[in-house]
């Protein structure tokens, strides 16, 4: 029997899916460290938990450590400490180091959380990634601009999900970004050369330092373009076959990058570019399961419960390699404007045309506020044995579905 702690600052729907799978795993006593009181935990999860500890700040390593100690009286000495949030990688590494819990420590967590440090490690290992510069002063920023030219990507070194990420195309863009960046003298920024080509993800399972399995997805269009154009509806496709020559190089380089960063036991999510000349470039890597609906898509593509697969790997060192049997894809529905959803147009026709392909959907609801993330107000996931059928269905969805907003007071 393994005693484990799951840290979840807030109980969002995605977090709850991973949490429930972990709590139900045979041979595991799971305790929860969270800001939610026990009666705020969904009943299905609450009944499966062996322990609960409430904290004020679920991202604070000291409070997490206090929570782990507090759980010991309920579930026994904690042997595994897990979470799914990108922002928890370093705090959990610090707590593992401090309490002697096996797993990824702070040094490795910084490799996958600090994007400048990550790229330094990758370049030293001879692995392809964008030229970059961590900047604290104006002179460093202008020197990098003069070196690489436009476009330039500016982002926080510990960012996630393309938040606060900017593409700078002109001197005016650069000057505007510089004025914002220098408003806080203590803030550091990461500047990168802009990578051209098709953007993808490389999702993988690593156990005892060996990458045992991987999955590839295609982004259309790239996320940075989606962030810059809030009206743009976009798609992610998991092709049925990832054994072709277009993926051969990332299948070789991806495991090397994970190894170079020191990740030994984790699901990892890597974003990478296929350049026009056939080479690849790694954008960034997180030692966590993928977001943006990719985790459930992996489950649909392999006809498995992805959340259970994740829980078995991180809590019991078990991994049963799944076979890819379908192509799967998601269309992200986004409206143009602000306020609240008034209506979603085109859904009835899409249901008639494509309903037989849909395996999961979350449609925008009237009255729902405009989303703050690039995932948008809703999504539709489809599945089929033929990748072309999936791609065509997604193109039809994003061309026909339209989210209408009404300005709210």
First-to-final CA distance of the chain: 54
What pLDDT is recorded for position 342?
94
3-state DSSP helix/strand/coil percent for the chain, to nearest 5? Answer: 40, 25, 35
Q: What is the pLDDT of residues 359-407, one digit of tens each?
A: 999 999 999 999 988 899 999 999 999 999 999 999 999 999 999 999 8
- 281, 249 in Cβ contact below 8 A? no
What pLDDT is recorded for position 409?
60
Give the C-alpha separation, 316 to 324, whole Å.
23
Cβ neighbours, 10 Å, residue 320: 11
Give the C-alpha separation, 19 to 8, whole Å.
8
- The alpha-helical segments, DSSP class H, found in 229-346 are 248-261, 294-302, 306-316
Identify any residues that bridge with 201 across adjacent strands, giving them in sequence order: 217, 271
* Helix axes 294-302 and 13-24, enclosed angle (nearest 10): 50
Buried b (16+ CB within 10 A) or exposed e, 371-388: beebbbbbbbbbbbeebe
What pLDDT is recorded for position 224?
83
Q: What is the pLDDT of residues 213-271, one digit of tens each?
A: 999 999 999 888 888 888 899 999 999 999 999 999 999 999 999 999 999 999 999 99
Give the C-alpha separation, 152 to 132, whole Å.
10
Write the CA distances from 305 to 201, 300, 311, 408, integer angstroms.
20, 8, 10, 40
What pLDDT is recorded for position 159?
59
Nearest one of 155, 163, 160 to 187, comparing CA atoms:
155
Write the CA distances from 151 to 147, 154, 155, 178, 182, integer angstroms.
12, 10, 13, 15, 20
Kindly tell me if the per-residue pLDDT of 181 is higher than 90.
no
């Amino acid at each position: 029997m393994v005693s484990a702690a799951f840290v979840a600052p807030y109980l969002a729907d995605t977090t709850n899916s991973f949490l429930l799978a972990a709590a139900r795993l045979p041979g595991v006593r799971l305790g929860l460290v969270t800001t939610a009181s026990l009666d705020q935990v969904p009943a299905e999860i609450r009944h499966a938990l062996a322990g609960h500890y409430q904290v004020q700040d679920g991202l604070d390593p000291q409070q997490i450590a206090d929570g782990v100690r507090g759980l010991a009286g309920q579930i026994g000495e904690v042997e595994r400490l897990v979470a799914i949030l990108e922002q928890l990688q370093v705090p959990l590494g610090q707590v593992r180091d401090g309490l002697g819990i096996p797993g990824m420590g702070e040094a490795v967590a910084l490799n996958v959380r600090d994007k400048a440090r990550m790229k330094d490690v990758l370049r030293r290992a001879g692995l392809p990634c964008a030229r970059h510069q961590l900047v604290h002063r104006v002179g460093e920023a202008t020197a990098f601009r003069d070196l690489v030219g436009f476009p330039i990507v500016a982002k926080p070194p510990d960012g996630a999900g393309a938040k606060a990420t900017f593409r700078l195309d002109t001197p005016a863009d650069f000057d505007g970004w510089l004025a914002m960046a220098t408003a806080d003298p203590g803030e550091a920024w990461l500047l990168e050369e802009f990578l051209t080509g098709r953007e993808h993800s490389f999702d993988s399972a690593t156990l005892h330092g060996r990458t045992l399995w991987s999955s590839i997805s295609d982004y259309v269009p790239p996320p940075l373009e989606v962030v810059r154009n809030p009206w743009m509806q976009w798609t992610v496709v998991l092709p049925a076959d990832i054994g072709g020559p277009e993926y051969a190089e990332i299948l070789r380089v991806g495991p090397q990058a994970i190894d170079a960063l020191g990740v030994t036991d984790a699901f990892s999510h890597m974003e990478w570019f296929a350049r026009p000349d056939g080479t690849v470039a790694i954008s960034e890597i997180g030692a966590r399961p993928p977001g943006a609906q990719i985790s459930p898509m992996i489950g649909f593509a392999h006809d498995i419960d992805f959340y259970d697969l994740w829980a078995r790997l991180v809590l019991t060192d078990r991994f049963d390699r799944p076979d890819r049997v379908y192509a799967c894809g998601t269309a992200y529905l986004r409206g143009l404007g602000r306020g609240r959803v008034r209506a979603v147009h085109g859904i009835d026709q899409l249901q008639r045309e494509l309903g037989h392909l849909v395996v999961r959907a979350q449609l925008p609801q009237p009255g729902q506020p405009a989303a703050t993330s690039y995932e948008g107000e809703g999504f539709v996931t489809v599945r089929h044995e033929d990748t072309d059928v999936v791609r065509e269905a997604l193109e039809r969805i994003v061309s026909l579905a339209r989210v209408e907003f009404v300005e709210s007071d």
